[in-house]
Amino acid sequence: MRKYETIFIQSPSFDEETVKVNIEKFKGVIENGGATIENVDFWGKRKLAYEIKKVSEGYYTLIHFTSGPELPKELDRIFRITDGILRHIIVKEEA
């Protein structure tokens, strides 16, 4: 088992309820993949460093989790096919 963190940015056009539903969706993907979630940190709406698809704000969420090496690939796939995710990254934490 390895430690990972992921941060993703959701579209500012979403309302707070949709943002929370998406966070729960991604938490479910992580937990159903056999991982344990250590921390979920919702940062709220923040200004982006640069525009993405003509959008200058987004809802940021950071999740720390422990899993096997196959889960980040599946999580990446789900981030890519989910509408409204502007950017995402999954990083393996140093031991």
List of domains in the chain? 2-92 (3.30.70.60)
Give the model's pLDDT for residue 58. 97
Give the model's pLDDT for residue 31. 94
Question: Which pLDDT tens digit goes with each residue over 50-75?
Answer: 999 899 999 999 999 999 999 999 99
The Cβ of residue 33 has, within 10 Å, a number of other Cβ atoms equal to: 16
Percent of the chain residues topping a pLDDT of 90: 94
The Cβ of residue 74 has, within 10 Å, a number of other Cβ atoms equal to: 14
Q: What is the mean pLDDT of residues 36-43?
A: 96
Burial class from Cβ neighbours inside 10 Å (0-12, 13-18, 19+) for residue 4 reads buried
Q: Which two tokens stand for residue 66?
A: 């422990």
Whether 95 has a pLDDT exceeding 80, the answer reads no
86 pLDDT tier (thresholds 50, 70, 90): very high
